[in-house]
Structure 1
Amino acid sequence: MKTKQILTAGAIALSMILTGCSASSTGTKDTKTTEVAKKKAVKTIGQKTKDSKSLKITNNTGKKITVFETKSSSEESFSDNLLENGDTVKNKEERTLYYTVKENDKLDVKVGLQDQDKTFVFKDVDTTDTKKVDVSLKDDKVNLDVTKKDGSTVTLTPSEDSAKTEDEKKDEQEVKQEEKKEETAKADSSNKSNTSESKKNNTASTSNSSSNKNNSSSNSSKPSSKPSNSSSNNSGSSKPSNNNGSNSSNSKPAEHTHNWVAQYKTVNVPEKGHNEQVLVKDAYDEPTYGYEYHSFCNTCGLDLTANGINDAQHVKQHTLNGEGGSATQKPVEVQTGTIHHEAVYETRYVVDSPATTKQELAGYKCSSCGKTRAN
C-alpha cells in the first residue's frame, strides 16, 4: 500500500515538472517570435513626421549604400546622413524614404557607396506621381531609375561635379585660395610700388632744391676768379649716381601673367528611354461546338430536325407516295456558344535619345607654366 502511494506521489511530481518545462518553453518561443518579428520589421530612411512625404527606394547597385542625404532644392546644404552609424542599405534591399521639401521645391538627393570616397548628387528630382526609385550603378556612377505611377520610367544621372573625390575637391579649393593670394599679392605689390615711386619723387625734389641752394651759396661766397661751375659740376656729377641707384632699385623681374587655356573632357551621355504598352493581338470571340441528335429521313436524307419538319408526317407522305418511309437519329455538330478573348499587350522599351558623348569644360591650364585651375 505504501509503495503505491510513493509511486503516485512521484508521478504527480514528475507531471508538475514537465508542465513547468512546457510553460517555460512556450514563453521562450513567444519571446523568440517577438524578436524575429522585430528583426523582420521594415527599415526606413529618415524619420516620419506630419509634414514628410515618402518614396520606395530599392538598392540595385550591387554594393551597400552607406550615405543617404536629402534636402529641399532651394536649401544650400544637405542634412546629416539619414543612415545611423553602422546602418547600411544592402543590395536588393527595399526601404521607405521619408523626406520633407518646401512648397514648390523639388528634392535633392546625395548617395554614397561603401569603400568609395566620393558621393553622387542628384538635383531637382521631381517626385510628382512617382511610384518607386531604384538606385543603380553604371560606369562607376550611381543613377536613379524613377518609375512613375503610369508605368513610364526615366533614368537620372548625377551632376557632373558631384562624383569628385574629397581630395579632388580639396585640391580645387587650394587652387582657388592660391589664386586669391596671388591677386592679393599683386595688389599689395602695386600699392607698395606706387608708394615707393612717390617717396623717390619727393626725395628727388628735395635733393634738387638743396642742390640749387648750395650752388647759389657757393657762387656768392667764392671769388669770381674761380670757376663757378666746379661746384656745380660736382653737384651735377652726383646726380647721375643717384639716378643709377634709383634705376637699380626699380629693376625688378617681370611678374608672370598666366595665359589660361580652356581644357575640355569627353563625357558619356547615357541612353534615355521609356517603357510603353504595345498591342500584340486584338480581342476576339472564339466559337464553341457540341453535338445534338437530329432526325434524318431514310428515303430522301433530309435533316428533319434542322428544317423543323415533323418526323411522322414526313414519313407518312413518303408512304402515301408508295415510296415507303422511316427516319433515323444521328449526332450533328452545332455551335453551342463563344469564348471571349481580351486583347494582348506587352511592354516594350522605346529609345527617346540614344547614347552619345559631349565635350564639357573641365578647367583651365596655363600654357606657360602648366598651372591648372577649376572652372
Structure 2
Amino acid sequence: MKTKQILMAGALALSMVLSGGMLTGCSNSSTKDTKTTEVAKKKDVKTLGQKTKDSKSLKFTNSTGKKITVFETKSSSEENFSDNLLENGDAVKNKEERTLYYTTKENDKLDVKIGLQDDDKTFVFKDVDTDDTKKVDVSLKEDKVNLDVTKKDGSTTTLTPSEDSAKTEDEKKEEQEVKQEEKKEEKKEETAKADSSNKSNTSESKKGNTASTTNTSSNKNNTSSSSKPSNSSSNNSSSSKPSNNSGSNSNNSKPAEHTHNWVAQYKTVNVPEKGHNEQVLVQAAYDEQVPITEMKAHDICSSCGADLTGTDISSHVYQHMINGDDKGGHYTEWRETVVGYKTVHHDAVYETRYVVDSPATTKQELTGYKCSSCGKTKAN
C-alpha cells in the first residue's frame, strides 16, 4: 500500500514539472514573438542619412508620381554633394514618407539634389532654410521637381530648382567639353602670340647686332684710311659694296596659327502634347425633400363634392336639404395624403475629361559645333 502511494506521489510531481516547463516554453515563445514583431516594425521605418548627436532631421513625402532614386545633401558652403543616400535597389516610392538626417556647418543652409527613376536629369535646390520647417512635399510640375515646404506656423512655400540643375548629364558634359576646348584654343593662341613676339624680338636683336658690326667695320676702315692714304681707293671701293646682312632675318616670323571659332549647331525636334485624365464635377451633391404619403379616409358631400373631413357634416347636409338638393347625404372616399417629408441625399456626379498639361511644341536640340571661319565641324 505504501509503495503505491509513493509511486502516485512521484507521478504527480513529474506531471507538475512537465506542465511548468510547457508553460515556461509558451511564455518564452510569446515573448520572442513580441520582440520579433517590434524589431520588424522598427525595420519598416525607413530613413535617409545617419542619425548622430549633431544631425538634424526633416520629414519629406514623395508626391512626384515616380520613384526617387537619387537623394544627396551637403552644407551650402561645401563644393561637392555627398554620395547617394539611397543604396542600390532602394528607392523612395510614390506617397512614401521618410525621415532625412543631415548635418550642416554653422551659419550654413542645406543644399539638396534629387533624381527620379528613368530620368537622367537631377534637380538641385540651394540654400534651403530648414530651421522652422515642419515637413517637405517633393512634387513634380512641368517636368521639374519642386519642394513644397510647410512651415511650423502652417504657412507654405514652393522652392524651385536652380536654373542649370535640370540639364541632363550629357548636356553638362557637352558644355564642359566645349569650355575645355575653348580654353585649349585660347592657350594655343596665347602660345602662338608669345612665339611670334619672341621671334620678333630675336629678329630685332639680330638687326642690332648687324648694325653694330657694320659700324665697327666702318670705324676700322676709317682708321685704316687715315693711317694709310695709299689704300684709300681700295677702302672706298670696299665700302661702296652694299651690305646684305641688314635684312637677312626680317621675314623669319611665322604666321599665327588658325583659331577655331566654334558655333553651336541645332536641329528642330517636335515635342508631343502631354496631358492627363481627371475627374470633373458635373452635378454637386444635394439633399432632396421627398413627401411621405398615406391612404386616408375623407368624407365627401354627395351634392357638391366638398371635402367634409373634420367639419360639421350634419349642418352641411341639412343646408342642402333646405335648398332642395336632390342628392343630400355624404360618402367616404380614400385618398393619398401627404403626412410628412424625408431627406434623400444625392452624391456628387463626376465625369472623366482629358486635360492638356503642355501643348505640342518644338525645341532646339544640340547636334554639334562648326567653325565659322574654316567650316570644320565636330560632334557634341
Fold-level similarity (TM above 0.5): yes
Map 1:332-351; keep pairs closer than 5 Å: 332-334=336-338, 336-337=340-341, 339=343, 344=348, 351=356
Q: Deviations over 1:325-365 (max 9, x none)?
A: 23325141427336376894869776575242233778853
**Quick check: 2:196–2:253 contact (8 Å CA) kept in 1?**
no
Letter of the 1:7 partner, please give it: A
* Residue of 240, 245, 251 corresponding to 2:244: 240
**Quick check: 2:113–2:124 contact (8 Å CA) kept in 1?**
yes
Distance 1:125 1:45 in 2: 19
- Correspondence for 1:195: 201
- Correspondence for 1:57: 62
Q: CA deviation at 1:32?
A: 0.6
1:132 corresponds to 2:134: no
Task: Tell me the TM-score normalized by structure 2.
Answer: 0.68
In structure 2, stretches of 5+ residues that fail to align are none
Size of the aligned set, in residue pairs, is 356
Q: 1:123 to 1:13 in 2, by over 3 A?
A: closer
Q: CA deviation at 1:19?
A: 0.9
**Quick check: 1:267–1:358 contact (8 Å CA) kept in 2?**
yes
Letter of the 1:337 partner, please give it: Y
- Correspondence for 2:35: 31
In structure 1, stretches of 5+ residues that fail to align are none
Distance 1:194 1:241 in 2: 17
**Quick check: 1:144–1:157 contact (8 Å CA) kept in 2?**
no
Identity of aligned residues (%): 32
- Correspondence for 2:188: 182
Map 1:241-320; keep pairs closer than 5 Å: 241=245, 243-244=247-248, 246-247=249-250, 250-264=252-266, 266=268, 280-281=282-283, 286-292=288-294, 293-297=296-300, 299=302, 300-305=304-309, 309-315=311-317, 317=319
For the aligned residue pairs, the C-alpha RMSD in angstroms reads 5.1
- Correspondence for 2:16: 12
Q: CA deviation at 1:34?
A: 0.8
Q: 1:15 to 1:172 in 2, by over 3 A?
A: farther
Distance 1:114 1:129 in 2: 27
**Quick check: 1:297–1:315 contact (8 Å CA) kept in 2?**
no
* Residue of 123, 146, 149 corresponding to 1:121: 123
Letter of the 2:181 partner, please give it: V
**Quick check: 1:57–1:135 contact (8 Å CA) kept in 2?**
no
1:210 corresponds to 2:216: yes
Distance 1:333 1:176 in 2: 95
- Correspondence for 2:169: 164
Q: 1:229 to 1:272 in 2, by over 3 A?
A: farther
Task: Tell me the TM-score normalized by structure 1.
Answer: 0.69
1:231 corresponds to 2:231: no
